[in-house]
Structures are given as C-alpha cells and as structure tokens.
Amino acid sequence: MTTNPSVAEPSAMHRLLHARSVAVIGASEDRGKFGGRLIHNLLHHGFQGTVYPINPKRDTILGHRAYPDIADVPSPPDVAAVAVPVQHLLASLQGCVDAGVKVAIVITGQLAETGVEGAKLQDDAVAMARAAGMRILGPNCLGAFNTPAGVCLSPSVTMSVDKLHKGRVGVASQSGALQTAMFIRAFDAGIGFSSAITLGNQADLELSDGFEYLVDDPDTEAILLYVEGLKDHERFKRAALRARAMGKPVVAVKAGRTDAGAAMANSHTASLTGSFEAFSALCESLGIVVTDQPDTAVFCADALARWGAPKASGVAVASGSGGAAALAADAIDDGNFHAARLGPRAIAHLAEHLPVRKETANVDFGAYLRAFDPAVMRDTLETFADEPDVGAVLLIMTPQPAMESLVEIMRDIGSMRGVPALLCNKAGSMVRDQLEADARVTGYPTYTSLDDCYRVLEALMAYRQFQEEGLTQETGDAPAGAIDASASALSPGLLTEPEAKGLLAAAGVPVTSEVICPDVDAAVQAAREIGFPVVLKGVARGLIHKSDAGVVKLNIPDVAAVRSAFAQIQDAIADNALEAAFEGSLVTEMAVGGVAEAFVGAAWDPQHGPGVLVGAGGVFVEVMKDVKFAAAPVSAAKARAMIESLQTFPLFDGARGRPKADVAALADIVHRVSLLAAHLGPRLRELDVNPVIVRAAGEGALAVDARAVWTIME
C-alpha cells in the first residue's frame, strides 16, 4: 500500500462526525435503553449511511438487519457506538478492534467516575484500544451529532425532537447532561447546533479534539465549550489561537468556581487564584469569552456567530415602559457597555417624537407623541441601529399594542443591518407561543430574561474588546540563559528571600542591592559598602512572615545599630518555634522615596499553565483581595492595563494629593515576572513579590521582598 503523506488522515472526530457506516453494539428497539435510543435517533435524523445493529437476539432492528456480533458485519464500520452494560465493555471493545473499527463511541458508564475499580477498567479499555490504533470517545458520554451531515450518534432523549435546526454554533462539552440541557434551551429558542460533541470521561479523545474539529468545521461559525478541567493547556491554547486567527468566536463555560489554588496556600498568589480565575485568565489571553451559565452561554455563542464583534460598545434601549427602560439604564452602566450616546441625526429624530430632549438612546414608546405607532417605532429603532455609538439594540417588550410589528422590526434590524438586536419578552403569555413558533421558523431567538440579555451583551462586548486589543500583544522573550543559571542552584521547597530575588534579578527585575552575611562583621562591612541607612533581615529557610518573627530591621543608621540588629535577628530566629536554621542576615539598601507599594505574584497551575498577578501591596492584597490575574506572559502594555483596572488604582494615580507613582516601571516588573513565570513553567510553583516599592513617576520601582515555592511536583 502506498501512502501519500500530503493527504492527512481525517481526525478521529472527523471520522466520527462524518460516519458513513455505524455499528450499534447494544442496539435495541426499546427506547428505554441507551442502545435503543441511539439507533432510533440515528435513523430518526435521517442517517444516509449503513447501519449495523449488533444484537444476538434479533434478526432485524427498526427494519435493519441485525448481526449477532460485530465480527459478523460485512465490512468494518467507520464508527462503533457501544452501549453495553459495563461488564461487557472490554469484550465489546475487543470485538471492535478485531473488526477493524477506528473510532468507538462509548456510552457505557460506571467507569472512572465511580472510583478506583471503574478507573482501572477504563484504563484497560483505553490501553487495548490504543494498542490497536482505535480511538475512544467517552466513556460515560452522550455521543455526538453533526446536523448538516445527518449523523446523530447520541442516546440523548432530547434527540427525539422532530428535526434538528441547522445552526452555526458548534459545541464541545465535558458534560453530557449539561450539553443536552443547553441543546434543548437552544432548540426552544430556535437556535441550532452545527455539531455537538460530548466528551464524557475523556479517557482518550478529549475536549481539545472536539475543539480542534469545530475550529476547522466549515459549518461552525462560533464555538461553545463546556469545560470542567483542561488536560493539555498548550493544545487548548493552539486550538484557541487558530479559532482566533480564523475569526471564529469562542465562548467557554467553566464549571465550579471552587478555589483549588487555596489548597497550597504558602503564598498570597495561591490563595488568590482559584482554578476559575486561572481558567478565565487563560481564556482572556486567548480571546475566549467566559461565562458561568451553560444555558445563557448558548445565547452568547449564537449571538457571536450571528453578529461577531459589535461596531461600538454603546447599547440603545427601547421599551413600552419607562420603568423598564430606566432599570435597564442602571444595569447597563454596570457592565462592559454603556447607554449609547446619540449623534445629531438621532437627537433630531427624537425631538420630533418626544416632548423632552434626549441625548442618550433610551426611550419609552409609550411616552411618544404618537405612542406605539409601528412606523415611528421602526424609524426610531433603525435610526438607533445606524448611530455610530450604538453597538447593540435592546428592546424590552412589556404588554403593549403592536407587539407583532416590534418583533418583526427587531428581527429585520438584527438580520439585515448586522446590528445585534435583542428582544426580551416581558409580555409573557401574550406573545410567548407566537415567539417560540416564529423562532423555530426564522431561527432568530428572543429572550425572556433580562439577565440573559445583559450576559449576551457582555459577551458581544467582551469579544469586541478582544478584537480591538489585537491578537498578540508582543511579549518578547525571557532572558533564558540568566534565569536558568540562577535556577540551577535551587532545590525544591520554599526558597529564601535572596534565592527568590536571584530569580527576579535574572529576569531583569530591579531588586534591592544586598549581601547575605553569615556573621556580624560581614554585616558591618556590607552595610558600609551599601551605604547607610540599611535594612537587615534574617534569612532562614521556611521562615515565611519575617516581620511577624521580628527579623526585619529597617532604617539602620550606623555600625552600632547594625551590630545590635544582627544580634536581635539571630536571637529571634533561635527563639522561633520554626525548625528554620539561621543562614545569616541579609543586608540591603533601604528603599526610599516610595509613593506606593505593590504586590506582584506568579503561579503555575497544572491545568492552565503560568499566570501573573498584580495588586496594591500590604493590607490591600491581604484584606481586599484586589488583584488582577492574567495568563503569562503579558506585554508591558497589558500589565499596565491590569494595573489601571485595579480598584486601588487611585493609590498609584495620585489620589489625595500624593505624587503619581511610576506605573510604567511597575508594569515593566509585572511583564518581566510574567516572562520569568512563563519560562520556568512548573518549576516556579508560586512567587510573591511583596512589596514592590514604587517611586514617583519616572523614578522607577524596586522589589524589596520575595518568596517562592520551587518545583514541587503533583
């Protein structure tokens, strides 16, 4: 056989979603069974290929010839769907392998999700499949479907709907059940999926396999991911960057806002970055919109597929109720969008229809001189849509005359003008049935919850912001040689302050000049060289809070004071209940002229990779947890934007008559720390730089303390 290397093998996901022959192991006519629903759904949604039901007890199933064993089918099927009791799983998979199957969908559950025994069985199944070059989707999954190809390989009860809407949203979900909840929510709103893939236990094929497929799928215009945890963040990143390069919006829903990072809280960094934050930060760096509600996420993905990035970040609001419009105005000002400001044309238009002058796009059709006149309402909404500051139009429809016209107007604007036009039905049953029926025909969704509308607007505007920021803000490279040299001497565990600062210095972060002194004479000598006043700090491995232990002596003016400080530090460490052994005193320059203190941190997250964070130092980081977190590395510009978005930013920006701090110097430190973290990867588990003393604008910033956790593997 000759192979042409230029023609890539189709991916397992592609093979599965474009199957032309399918064996269903555990097929049945009983829709109470997984295998029964699966084959029923496959036929119900018009599968055009060959179906091989496998069932030793039947001659035919749903009109198709049944085979007692997969070994009996006339030619190897593209895909085998396996829905057998768990005790038969290995034998069934062995049968698939022997029959030459390349991909198996394993619906069967009771595997790794149930405990050690199940996990062992699952591992055995994967090992057997891998050895034979067969890929597995699942186990414990609800299969996958491809609407345009007419391939529905899912046992979900939701697949009993009459017909799958053709749609532009592609879904990959780690949860089968949630995927079906998303599906039905979308279906009811008239939104269809191009393809949907559930990954189940991800024993073999994983989320990124689905993600990669959807990125390349011409029928998918926006991607929706339901993520519980990432197996390989580098692969996820590559898929996301590819989606971005292709202009396909991606929405991710992350399960569990629990704080995994707090498990190892040797540093603030660890306690401040849960896995949700780490995931969000990673997504932000990749231009992925994150939300925490699966069903709303469907609307977000649909809106992004439909409209992409809005032309502006202003939102125009119209309602039949002044109250509703006013409430929306308040909510809008809390989001990443604002009440749209109107230009002269729209202002003149409103002047014709309203008794009061209006400069923002927020109107109540009930207050119009010609209340609820369809032609006027259309004119207003179209005028709004054409305004430069209007990125989206939100209509809150309370019970009012001419509701049908409004629905049509909004649909026209949303479909023909390319401006997101969201209609929220607050007229309940007066129009609900009509709206749902319409949506199924037109595929144009309407909403019933204002909260959903705000989240959709947020997603659209977040995506817009990603587009504006551009793909790769140049981050440059870490000084790898210097960092590796400094890292080579370190051993696992908590680093001492000078060791942690050594890494910082290697990354080009300005640190206090300092000397570690094993005895008092060396300390005196060092203090003279550095110049008074100096600072003395005890160095002992494992000592975390130095001030609390009484081993930080600031502003030491002379030799006599150096001697007494050295003795006090030595005593304090000896008294300290810690096992920590005194390694000497660090004599450092006294950093003067600071106008603000900052906290800069870095952390490695096994699921999401390196991250960096920044906040105001001291009590602000401890009490207020006001920090910004981003996936590393970040450019200095991005670091600056992080600092500027802190609640405590006024502390750096000359609040209450203080001098403005050197934010550029701080941003540069954040940038360098991020390069350090990205270069070191899992070697640098956690790093706190606290504080960075930031001087007045133009005068720089200096790291005066650091601690780190080095290379503790999972």
Q: Which helix (H) or strand (E) holds 379?
A: helix 374-386
Listed in sequence order, the DSSP H helices in 659-705 are 663-680
Pick from ligand ADP, Mg ion, none: which does 554 bind, CB < 5 to 8 A by kind?
ligand ADP
- Residue 178 CB, shortest distance to Mg ion, in Å, is 43
Q: Locate tokens 């091989």: which residue?
A: 52
- Residue 545 CB, shortest distance to ligand ADP, in Å, is 5
Q: Which residues pair with 117 in a beta bridge?
A: none
Pick from Mg ion, ligand ADP, none: which does 512 bind, CB < 5 to 8 A by kind?
ligand ADP
Q: Which of 244/537 has CB closer to ligand ADP?
A: 537
Q: 645 φ, ψ to 5°?
A: -90, 5
- Residue 272 CB, shortest distance to Mg ion, in Å, is 15
Q: Which of 204/705 has CB closer to Mg ion?
A: 705
- Residue 518 CB, shortest distance to ligand ADP, in Å, is 19
Could you tell me whether strands 594-605 and 684-695 are parallel, antiparallel, or unpaired per DSSP bridges? Answer: antiparallel
- Residue 268 CB, shortest distance to Mg ion, in Å, is 10
Q: Which of 390/504 has CB closer to Mg ion?
A: 504
- Residue 492 CB, shortest distance to ligand ADP, in Å, is 21
- Residue 556 CB, shortest distance to Mg ion, in Å, is 18
Distances (CA, A) of 583 to 200, 496, 511, 580: 52, 10, 20, 9
Could you tell me whether strands 627-631 and 552-556 are parallel, antiparallel, or unpaired per DSSP bridges? Answer: unpaired
Confirm if 17 and 213 have CB atoms less than 8 A apart: yes
Q: Which of 547/564 has CB closer to ligand ADP?
A: 547
- Residue 616 CB, shortest distance to ligand ADP, in Å, is 12
Confirm if 652 and 459 have CB atoms less than 8 A apart: no
List 173, 273, 648, 690, residue binding Mg ion (CB under 5 A):
690
Listed in sequence order, the DSSP H helices in 531-662 are 559-575, 619, 636-644, 649-652
Q: Which of 287/601 has CB closer to Mg ion?
A: 601
Distance CA 397, CA 321 (A): 8
- Residue 618 CB, shortest distance to ligand ADP, in Å, is 6
Residues written for the chain: 714
Pick from ligand ADP, Mg ion, none: which does 198 bind, CB < 5 to 8 A by kind?
none
Q: Look up residue 415 and give its two tokens.
A: 């479909």
Pick from ligand ADP, Mg ion, none: which does 338 bind, CB < 5 to 8 A by kind?
none
Q: 634 φ, ψ to 5°?
A: -125, 150
Confirm if 26 and 35 have CB atoms less than 8 A apart: yes
Rg of the chain on CA atoms, in Å: 31
- Residue 688 CB, shortest distance to Mg ion, in Å, is 7
Pick from Mg ion, ligand ADP, none: which does 160 bind, CB < 5 to 8 A by kind?
none
**Residue 497 interacts with Mg ion (CB under 5 A): yes or no:** no
Distance CA 549, CA 523 (A): 20
Could you tell me whether strands 609-616 and 594-605 are parallel, antiparallel, or unpaired per DSSP bridges? Answer: antiparallel
List 275, 705, 708, 711, residue binding Mg ion (CB under 5 A):
705
Q: Which of 142/540 has CB closer to ligand ADP?
A: 540
Binding site for ligand ADP (CB under 6 A): 512, 535, 537, 545-547, 552, 554, 588, 590-591, 691, 704-705
Please name which of 347, 349, 328 lies closest in space to residue 339, comparing C-alpha atoms.
Answer: 328
Q: Which residue is nearest to Mg ion (CB)?
A: 705
Please name which of 215, 207, 212, 219 lies closest in space to residue 165, comparing C-alpha atoms.
Answer: 219
Pick from ligand ADP, Mg ion, none: which does 614 bind, CB < 5 to 8 A by kind?
none
Q: How many C-beta atoms lie closer than 10 Å to residue 667's C-beta?
A: 23
Pick from Mg ion, ligand ADP, none: which does 501 bind, CB < 5 to 8 A by kind?
none
Q: Which of 457/535 has CB closer to ligand ADP?
A: 535
Q: Which stretch binds Mg ion (CB under 5 A): 62-70, 304-312, 424-432, 702-710?
A: 702-710
Binding mask 641-680 for Mg ion (x = CB under 5 A): ----------------------------------------
Size of the site for Mg ion (CB under 5 A): 2
Angle between helices 344-353 and 374-386 in degrees, nearest 10: 160
Q: Which of 195/588 has CB closer to ligand ADP?
A: 588
Please name which of 92, 91, 62 lies closest in space to residue 80, comparing C-alpha atoms.
Answer: 92
Residue ranges in contact with Mg ion by CB under 5 A: 690, 705
